[in-house]
Chains A and B, each alone.
Chain A
Amino acid sequence: MSAAVGATAQVTRLMTLVPLLERSDGLTLRQASDLLGVSVDRVLADLRVLWMCGLPGGMVDDLIAVNIEALATDEGFGSAIPDAVIHIDNAGPLTSPARLSPTEATALLAALGSMRLDATGPAVDVLDTVIGKIRAASAVAGGDDRPGLVEPGAGRRNTAEVAGAAAVESAIAGGVAVEFDYYVPSRDEKRQRTVDPWHLVDREGLLYLVGHCHAAGDRRTFRVDRMSDARSTERPATHPEQPSSAAEDFFDDATLPVATLRLGPGAHWVAEYYPTEAMRRVAPDVIEVDLRIGDERWLAALMRRLGTTAELLGPEVLVQSSQAAAAKALALYR
């Protein structure tokens, strides 16, 4: 069941919509749908619920009267006409706007707290005022609604990521390809890419673009903070979204070779940081992991960084290339 369809979400929408209707002296179905962020049909379904609600007398006078211009018939409502105006009557105690639930207050206050960590100048004062007002307005006397139990921390401040995300979002919205220079650290190489963008994904705090890469002719994932000079183009995006083979892992590719690494205590982070195929404990403080390797240069760079804390066990071809790369770099220090 989707979030919009559940009873809890529906009751929340109705508790919001009724005071709005009461105050605004009628809204169109389209206005209500924009405000609530659900379809016109969903608004109609919501209103149909109200039709059956009322004070506990059970008499006609006790029921909430919902009137949608020229639509209400004896059978209920007809099909949705977005410009039809909704009026409401006899909604009694439901017309007072409700207090925020603990989850609602927490979600808003946590988001505002995160914005505050990044904000500068006059925005800090505006945020403080808003936080204070929402806290005061949502607090229940004697209630146990402590602030600060959910803290998302600061956001991104990397300017490359800011610019890249803005360009990608505008390209997605416009249905056009996005162009950017992309830096690949394991190759220390920057190349221009053109991508039909599908979506931005937030994974452990890093933002990724998933889309069709024109150069590769296939689905690719790009880290947004490694883009520079990103801009949306005039070229319409023509490659529709390809479903990911595994929703969880967009780096997954079963055709790639598997390397086995032995990790000492200082290198255990590798097992958590990268998706592993398998993990074995071989001694109290030593584990072995199998990693799929897309690029032997990436593996060689990882082994150089791990230094004395890890050992590459195989396959032999990757051991050779990795050691050769380290020897080449080491030669520069003689």
Chain B
Amino acid sequence: MAEAKSERLINLLLMLLSARTPVTRNRIRQVRYPDLGEAAFDKAFERDKEELRALGVPVEVAPIDAYFDDEVGYRVRPERLAIDPVTFTPAEATVVGLAARLWGEATMSGAATAGSLKLRSAGVVHEQEGAGLEGLGDPLVAGAGRIGASEAAFGTLLPAVLERQAVTFEYRKSPAVDARRRQVQPWALSRYAGRWYLLAFDTEVEERRLFRLSRIVGQVRTRGRTGAYVIPDDLEVSGVKVRPDATPEPTVASVLLREGAAPGLRAMATAVESGVPGPDGDPWDRVHLAADLYWLADTVLRLGDRAVAESPRELRDDVIRRLQSAARA
């Protein structure tokens, strides 16, 4: 099945590539689709032409006659299909190879590999094993399969963004509300802290909105033609940051830990006093560190009776208030 279709696509490509002037639909049908009737040909040719375009082949539509545009033909100009000359140093070539392995999501992984192969087939990459890696430092910067996309919606939204095609989906804004149908023009996909977000123009409320992919319920469906809209230059959402700020300001704090408790907090410490008298009379350790207070309160609460928040006051009060509630005291 796949072989027959591949053969049809390549033969169509060769015909369009080798034509000096645009080829009429009739001629294409006679030569490449001789067994198909009119309707079947229209359908097959439309699909094949779009598949070639998705592969990066610039299939052009142009008038056959320079003076009359009532009949159009198709062609692929070799100079537009061919990649522009480019050369890579060994270090740069290594970086391309690493980038090609970075995606853990199947569509993007396949596309990145195919793209790096095309660069290689252009005869411009001078490969040299290992070169240029030193500067990358952290090996997981380039860890294979590092960029995942477990959200089911990603697979449909990605081509929709790239091809400017509107979509609809059911979206649950928060767990406390029912899912509601949205009709949007997808603009951009962005990942933060392992989660993918879609920036899109909601055509019903006529405003730009940010959607979290994991809150999309069920299938994403494409609507209408491709190339249906233009994505604006500025991709900010009013009042919403596409990329939330990662780290709040750290505050200096001190926490008492039981002996041996919380290796993670100890690793962050700026100073540790061992064997100080604890709240229960046993010797504890006092750990000084700088951290986001909300995160630190969460961590102390997680540790239960193995940690006590000492200072600042607001940290201690927050912990006590939450413990009282949980103890129903």
Residues of A in contact with B (beta carbons under 8 Å apart): 1, 3, 5-17, 19-20, 23, 35-37, 45-46, 48-50, 52-56, 58, 92-94, 96-108, 110-112, 114-115, 118-124, 126-127, 129-130, 133-134, 136-138, 140-141, 143-144, 146, 148-153, 155-157, 161-162, 165-166, 183, 185-186, 188, 190, 200, 202-206, 228, 263, 265, 268, 271-272, 279, 281, 284-287, 289, 297, 300-301, 303-308, 322-323, 325-334
A151 touches B121 (CB 8 A): no
Interchain residue pairs A-B with the least CB separation, the first 8: A205-B194, A307-B322, A101-B56, A104-B115, A123-B135, A202-B148, A326-B326, A326-B327
Evaluate contact between B141 and A155: CB separation under 8 angstroms: yes
> In the complex the two chains form, what is the Cα distance from A331 to B305 in whole Å?
9
The reply to whether A115 and B102 contact each other, CB–CB distance below 8 Å, is yes
> Would you call A49 and B83 a contact (CB within 8 A)?
no
A119 nearest CB across to chain B (Å): 6
The answer to whether A114 touches B11, judged by C-beta atoms less than 8 angstroms apart, is no
Query: What is the minimal beta-carbon distance from B327 to any residue of chain A, in angstroms?
Result: 4
Convert B225-268 into 0s and 1s, putting 1 for each residue whose CB lies closer than 8 angstroms to a CB of A.
00100110001000000010000000000000000011110000
Taking CB atoms and an 8 Å cut-off, the chain B residues in 44-73 that contact chain A are 51, 54-58
Asked whether A129 lies within 8 Å of B103 as measured between CB atoms, the reply is no
Cβ of B78 under 8 Å from chain A: yes
Q: Is the CB of B190 within 8 A of A108?
A: no
Q: Which residues of A contact B15 (CB under 8 A)?
A: 55-56
If the complex has contacts A11-B55, A140-B80, are A156 and B140 also in contact, measured as CB distance less than 8 A?
yes
| B290 CB within 8 Å of chain A | no
Point out the residues of chain A lying under 8 angstroms from B6, CB to CB. Answer: 7, 10-11, 14, 46, 49
Chain B residues with CB below 8 A from A151, complex form: 188-191, 243
Whether B153 is near chain A, meaning CB under 8 Å from some CB there, is no
B93 (CB) vs chain A CBs: closest residue: A130
Q: Are A5 and B2 in contact (CB under 8 A)?
A: yes
Chain B residues bordering chain A, tally (CB within 8 A): 126
The answer to whether B82 touches A308 (Cβ under 8 A) is no
Query: Known: A99-B82, A162-B139, A305-B301. Contact between A104 and B95, CB under 8 A?
Result: no
Q: Is B5 an interface residue (CB 8 A)?
A: yes
Residue from B2, B132, B298 within 8 A of A305 (CB atoms): B298
Pair A107/B112 contact, Cβ less than 8 Å: yes
Q: Is B106 touching A3 in the complex (CB atoms < 8 A)?
A: yes
* Given known A-B contacts A53-B10, A130-B95, A108 and B112 have beta carbons under 8 A apart: yes
Closest Cβ–Cβ distance, residue B103 to chain A (whole Å): 6
The reply to whether A100 and B118 form a contact with Cβ atoms under 8 Å apart is: yes
Q: Is B36 part of the contact surface with A, judged by Cβ < 8 Å?
A: no
Interface residue B110 (Cβ < 8 Å from any Cβ of A) = yes
Give, as a whole number of angstroms, the nearest-CB distance from A270 to chain B. Answer: 9
Identity of the chain A residue whose Cβ is nearest the Cβ of B164 in the assembled complex: A144
Question: Is B283 an interface residue, CB under 8 A from the partner?
Answer: no
| Complex CA distance for A264 and B68, rounded to whole angstroms | 69
- Is B83 a contact of A99 with CB atoms below 8 Å? yes
Residue B280 is within 8 A (CB to CB) of chain A in the complex: yes
Residues of A within 8 A of B138 (CB): 118, 157, 162
- Is A16 a contact partner of B118 (Cβ separation < 8 A)? yes
* Known A123-B132, A138-B83, A151-B188; 14 more pairs at CB < 8 Å: A7-B9, A9-B114, A15-B55, A19-B123, A56-B31, A99-B81, A100-B56, A108-B99, A111-B102, A130-B95, A148-B235, A155-B141, A188-B302, A301-B301
Find residues 97-129 in chain B having any chain A CB closer than 8 Å to their own CB.
98-100, 102-104, 106-123
Contact B263 A333 (CB under 8 A): no
